[in-house]
Copies of this chain bind each other. A is one copy, B any other.
Amino acid sequence: MTIGDELLYGQVVDTNSAFMGQQLGSLGLRVRQITSVSDRADEIVAALDQARQRVKVILTTGGLGPTKDDLTKHVLARYFGRELVLHEPTLRHVEEIFKRFNRPMLDVNRQQALVPAGCEVLPNAVGTAPGMWLEDGGTVFISMPGVPFEMKKLMTDQVLPRLQAKFQLAPIEHVVIMTAGLGESFLAEKIKDWEAALPANVKLAYLPSLGSVRLRLTGTADDEPNLRDRMLKLLPALREHIGSYIFAEEDISLEVAVGRLLQAKGWQLGTAESCTGGAVAQRITSVPGSSAYFRGSVVAYDNDLKESLLGVNAETLGQHGAVSEPTVREMAEGARARLGCDVALATSGIAGPGGGTPLKPVGTICIACATPAGTVSRQFSVDRGRQTNIEYTTQAVLILLWQQLAGHHEAALLKV
């Protein structure tokens, strides 16, 4: 349960629930519901009342700050009929933080050390508001601050170990298979017999995103041992059907997967981008440690930079245009030479909404990948608005890179 008007009105996207769900799922706990409620006391109480009917553990974040609209602690104390009492170690911790930053401590900051009587305080190493663990009528209530990095540290260091110790966790196993380049319904068609033959205690979910489908197997414990091993034994048959679309058998992104392949080969990567405007480089560099295999990018938005910085021939541009397979091939090859890398990607296209022509309408996209083995290129169409066109082009060129690195040259690159 995440608390705060800012969540209800979309001023803040609730990433806390996603993080908590990931962590609880990884412990084998079943997550029953995510609820976001306002800062109003009566609505927090109503949501707590309903939640305790459903589940044994309720985690809340938010409403623990020092300002007037932060109500959670007071609501919890009243709800459970307990007084707020001063927690001395927390007070000393808060005083220490204010001393360290040389800031005057106000009375509202001192109140951070008040907690409902009888609750177990979960020390917040990176902030002033402590976490609280409170048991009542067989239900565990856990209250954490809403600041994501404080909540994450409390979850990892305090909450998860305590949950693990307290409960006999019903073993659930997840096996995630990451695919790219084939749409959800085509994948489903290719693996329908395999899916139909899954054991009764194993469920398959399709989790599509742009140009990628995550397949998630959820296995519930039965009387037999080694649930996870038995689930993993289902994979060879799956690979027979869709092997050339599987880029990972764990929950990682395409940019992480290509990063690993590049490092395994000892190859350096560069990009030459037009319509993606830096989005390819940005996705690659979003991965920690990517500087080990990424050299850089030339975003040649203007055509003359395609010539001056990437060495594309003026005749190629003149004859075929900027959005053409010959041009992106020269961009990729130019980037390989000028950036001094082993593999280079290139994109050029009409992202829209303007710039289309009858022969090359908005959404006409060309991509290329140059490797020591040669250069491959593709042309395709995508027309789902500028932002999605850029995202899809970025995904498509990463798929093309992955296919070259993994040796799946035959795999078709589907249209979006």
Contacts and interface: CB of A to CB of B under 8 A. Distances in A.
Nearest to A277: B285
A36 B10 contact: no
Nearest to A205: B69
B298 A302 contact: no
A189 to B, nearest CB: 6
Contacts of A340: 304-305
A149 to B, nearest CB: 6
A386 B286 contact: yes
Nearest to A339: B305
A21 B35 contact: no
A185 B108 contact: yes
A13 B15 contact: yes
A207 B300 contact: no
Interface string A263-294: 00000000101001111111011101111001
A6 B207 contact: yes
Interface of A: 5-15, 17-25, 31-39, 43, 46-47, 50, 54, 65-69, 101, 106, 108-109, 126, 147, 149, 174, 184-185, 188-189, 195, 203-209, 214, 216, 218, 251, 271, 273, 276-282, 284-286, 288-291, 294-302, 304-305, 309, 338-340, 352-355, 384-388, 390, 415
Given A33-B35, A66-B188, 13 more contacts: A10-B17, A10-B22, A13-B14, A13-B15, A33-B37, A46-B54, A65-B184, A67-B188, A108-B185, A278-B281, A286-B386, A296-B299, A309-B338
